[in-house]
Chain A
Amino acid sequence: MELICPAGTPAALRVAVEAGADAVYCGFRDETNARNFPGLNFNRDELRTAIRFAHQRGAKVLVAINTFPRAGALSLWHEAVRDAVEAEADALILADIGLLDYARRRYPKQRLHVSVQAAAANPDAIRFYTEMFGVRRVVLPRVLTVQEIAAITKETVCETEVFVFGGLCVMAEGRCSLSSYATGKSPNMQGVCSPASHVKYEARNGRIVSRLGDFTINAFEKDEPAGYPTLCKGRFATEHGAGYIFEEPVSLDAAVILPALRDAGVTALKIEGRQRSRAYIEGVVRSFRAALEALDAGMPVETAALARMAEGQTSTVGAYRKTWR
């Protein structure tokens, strides 16, 4: 299985390649990708240099252009597709049907992947993307069990890529409106979930209170690990009591089920975290590279001590083994 690693900056990309990534995914410094954070991402020159660096070392670069274009502003997304192709990206990761159609017609030889933002979660949906746009790989949403992934892989001609570590989005990705509801901005359109412009942290007697727009998301006690200020990981008071309504602050770590994912026919394993540092990327990529080497050698897969990297310092295998509450 291929190891697909994140990079938010050229330095992070170099670290990912040196740490053992088969491919690195990244995006441009604008709203065309779903990690449009301040100070993050690549300008055109940086992308060309990064792709050369990766290719010289046998690694691929996949460019995420995975937000949904705004009406009247298509040129920004079309230019991103053109510039990524001209920079010799190994694949484009797209979510929007119109953009997939544009890329297929304009650059028929370019390899296309379906982003997780397309929420393609069943064989019919995936077949549509392969038949209409010739996509070669689909990144599956983080809401499927291993058995469902195995069934999908068996029924489709398309390669499948699944997340194995990092931020755990528990929603139908590309369709979630929680961030829009609170801030007017979303990962789907502006490339930002819970945008930093709307986040506030307040220290109150040792507690940290996180706020998003007009909403209090959480209050962490003095000795309690913290999490991101997203509505889906918020702790709320309801008529049924106070607690986490959707999901707790927790990260995905699927290292223990790598053998099951291999048996399910998965082609590529994806690490989330383009917004994270070089230290995170080096630690996580090296850990999963070692796990894959152990798997290939028929050795037991060691679960590395990555909990300190996890949101809330807690890990889960998420929907891969989800039992509904």
Chain B
Amino acid sequence: MLSTVPTLPPIIALAIRPLPLMPLQPLLALLVQRIKQHHPGIFERLDCHAEKRFGIDPTDLPFAFVLEPQRLRPRLFAVRTLPTDLDVRIGGSFACLTGLIDGDLDGDALFFSRDVVIEGDIEAVLALRNAIDDAQVDMLGEALGPLSQWKGPVRRILEEIVRVLTLFDRIATRA
């Protein structure tokens, strides 16, 4: 059985690889501030693990994220390659990682199916996973901020783009 979670078509990674990461950084900073404001319980559950540094690697995208949850000044930023001095590295497809945050997927099941790979401080991984699962973070809603009422249509548009690109990628691969 193994994996049941789809990966993004390689054409997406190819298309966004040349783009600079700079414009992404303020959006990520805003996102993490909104999450801090709306879900303070995450930090209580993280406890001492809030001071750890987490590397999050969407394996089907050409960049990764570093999360430093620190209670007072949480940071989230994008990097081309994860630094080596992280406490934790969590790798998996973009759909896996967002599914974990949205609460649609089970972390242990993704570990059993080898969809998610974890390395480093396993206590910190569990604390982060449990804190996020309890917080019920609506990632897309938080990202859209005041426009969150458009979350449904935005999600459908994004899913449609991925569907079309996946189809295109399959046709291109066959040709």
Binding site for B on A (CB under 8 A): 8-12, 37-40, 195-197, 199-203, 208, 220, 222-227, 249, 275-280, 283, 307-313
User: B90-114: which residues lie under 8 A (CB-CB) from chain A?
Assistant: 99-100, 103-109, 111-114
Establish whether residues B129 and A277, one from each chain, have CB atoms under 8 Å apart when the complex forms: yes
Establish whether residues A197 and B123, one from each chain, have CB atoms under 8 Å apart when the complex forms: yes
Specify the chain A residue showing the minimal Cβ separation from B46. Answer: A39
Complex Cα spacing A200 to B121, Å = 8
Digitize B31-72: 1 where CB-to-A-CB distance is under 8 Å, 0 elsewhere.
Answer: 000000000000001110100000000000000000000000
Complex Cα spacing A275 to B111, Å = 14
Set of chain A residues within 8 Å of B2, measured between Cβ atoms = 223, 225, 313
Pick the interface stretch among B76-84, B131-139, B163-171: B131-139
Interface CB pairs A-B, < 8 A, 5: A11-B136, A39-B45, A203-B119, A277-B105, A309-B106
Establish whether residues A38 and B127, one from each chain, have CB atoms under 8 Å apart when the complex forms: yes
Establish whether residues B135 and A11, one from each chain, have CB atoms under 8 Å apart when the complex forms: yes
Specify the chain B residue showing the minimal Cβ separation from A226. Answer: B112
Establish whether residues B117 and A203, one from each chain, have CB atoms under 8 Å apart when the complex forms: yes
Set of chain B residues within 8 Å of A307, measured between Cβ atoms = 1
Complex Cα spacing A199 to B120, Å = 9
Set of chain A residues within 8 Å of B126, measured between Cβ atoms = 37-40, 196, 275
Partner of A39, one of B47, B104, B112: B47
Q: Closest approach, in angstroms, between the C-beta of A76 and any C-beta of chain B?
A: 18
Establish whether residues A200 and B109, one from each chain, have CB atoms under 8 Å apart when the complex forms: no
Complex Cα spacing A209 to B105, Å = 24
Establish whether residues A196 and B122, one from each chain, have CB atoms under 8 Å apart when the complex forms: yes
Complex Cα spacing A322 to B27, Å = 56
Q: Closest approach, in angstroms, between the C-beta of A192 and any C-beta of chain B?
A: 10
